[in-house]
Amino acid sequence: MVVDVQHLNKAFGRVKAVDDVSFNIHAGQIFGFVGPNGAGKTTTMRILATLEEQDSGDIFFDSFSIQEDPEAARRAIGYVPDSLPSHRDITVFEFLDFFGRAYGLRGGQLKSAISNVVEFTGLTEMLNKTLASLSKGIKQRVSVGRALIHNPPVMLLDEPAAGLDPRARVELRELLSALAGMNKAILISSHILTELTEICSGVVIIERGRILAQGTVSEILKKGHSNRNLSVSGTGETSFLKHELLSCPGVVDARIEGSKVVASIEGGDDIQAQILNQLVSKGCPICQFYAEETDLEDIFMEITKGEVQ
């Protein structure tokens, strides 16, 4: 299934929470939805989950629209909100059973759906425990299980890794990869960008309700960071090294960071080779020379301003 978000707009009073947002996700893809707090991620997610209604624009699931047929959209979506279920008076089994029934599953279908979800999320031992007694990681698994109970082709996860310990995060990541393997389209919003880089096939960066960048992770990394950072250290004076670096072709800026000099360069590997050549020819005693890896976090910091509405 293809989820096609077209020119989505939503305002709360004078504040534009979502401003002309358009993107699409294919089946089997995990799409990261990145942005600072108040960027409009949760509002977009809530519109997708039919909890809010857009002011204009539309969302299409293959060929039907969320505005035209919100009921069909609900059947196509599994939504995992940022808050975890914590009812004191309901067990994991009853929770899953209720949502199975809410999606129209009955009898053998319901039983099989619950057992499949329980097995997939590893909740077999927890079935008779009340939700309030579970750890955050287990609650998150229950939440994912609930969203999967009707086997939706699209999954929306709002900050699913927030507050989870490293082990629970790894487990969640594995769970998401497995879901993508089942050909589900997954949209996940998260602040933990390093994790997104590892599992996401595409990224949408949003700030103040507007999309700043979108594409595959490699595309974003390429587009977002025009300058690459070159880390150089030698046995001589760092100030001399900095001075020599600034005179090299393609070097835009250079700064001293401890015992090394970090130069910002414009261009690719050929410029990097030229710089190394020039430094050696000028007699600089180089012992380390490498281009720093750019990750999603760098791109995010570079293109967002951290502004909230």
Partner 1 sequence: MTKSNISSLGELLLDRMNPVLLREFRQLSRNRIVFSIIFLCLAAFMLTSGIYIMTAMDNLSTGSASLQQGKNLFNSLATMLILATFTFVPLYTGIRFGIERRKGKQDLMYTSSIPPWHIVFGKTMTAAQLTLLIFSLALPFLAFTYLLRGVDLANAALTILALFIGAVLGAQAVLLFMAIPMNLVVRIIISVLLILPTFFSYYIAASIVLLWSGGAMLAFGSPFSTHGFIPILIFALIIVISLSGTLFTMTTALIAPPSSNRAFAIRSYNSIAAIVIMAATLICLHKGSSLDAIAITASFLLAGACLSLIASSAETTTRSLRVQRTIPKNIFKRLLVFPLYQGRINGIVWSLGWMLVLSCIITAATVMDGEEPYEVASVLGSVILYTLGYTLVSIFIHRKLLIRKFKAGITPVITGVFILIMILAPFLFAFFSGSKSRIDKAWSLFSPVDDDYMGHISEHLTGAVILVVIGLILNGVPMIKSILSFCPLQKTAPGPAKVAEPEPETEPQNPLNCDDNPAVPKGPPAL
- Which residues here bind partner 1, judged by CB under 8 A? 2, 4, 6, 13-14, 24, 26-29, 49-51, 53, 58, 60, 62-65, 67-72, 74-77, 79, 81, 83, 85, 87-90, 94, 98-99, 101-107, 109-110, 112-113, 116-117, 119-120, 130, 146, 148, 150-153, 181-183
CB of 128 to partner 1, least distance (A): 12
Q: Closest Cα partner for 1 from 55, 58, 49, 62?
A: 62
Is 147 or 275 the residue whose CB approaches partner 1 more closely?
147
> For the packed helices 269-281 and 238-246, what is the interaxial angle rounded to 10 degrees?
130
Residue 131 or 275 with smaller CB distance to partner 1? 131
Residue 308's alpha-carbon distances to 37, 80, 186, in angstroms, are 7, 24, 26
Tell me whether residue 143 or residue 190 sits nearer to partner 1 (CB atom): 143
- Closer residue to partner 1 in complex, CB, 11/276: 11
Q: How far is the CB of 119 from partner 1 (least distance, A)?
A: 7
Sign of the dihedral defined by the CA atoms of residues 171, 175, 181, 186, in that order = negative
CB of 285 to partner 1, least distance (A): 50
Residue nearer to partner 1 on the CB measure, 181 or 283: 181
Taking the C-alpha atoms of residue 242 and residue 259, their distance in angstroms, rounded to an integer, is: 11
One-letter amino acid of 182: M
Assign 92 to helix, strand or coil: helix
Q: Write out the two tokens for 163.
A: 């507050």
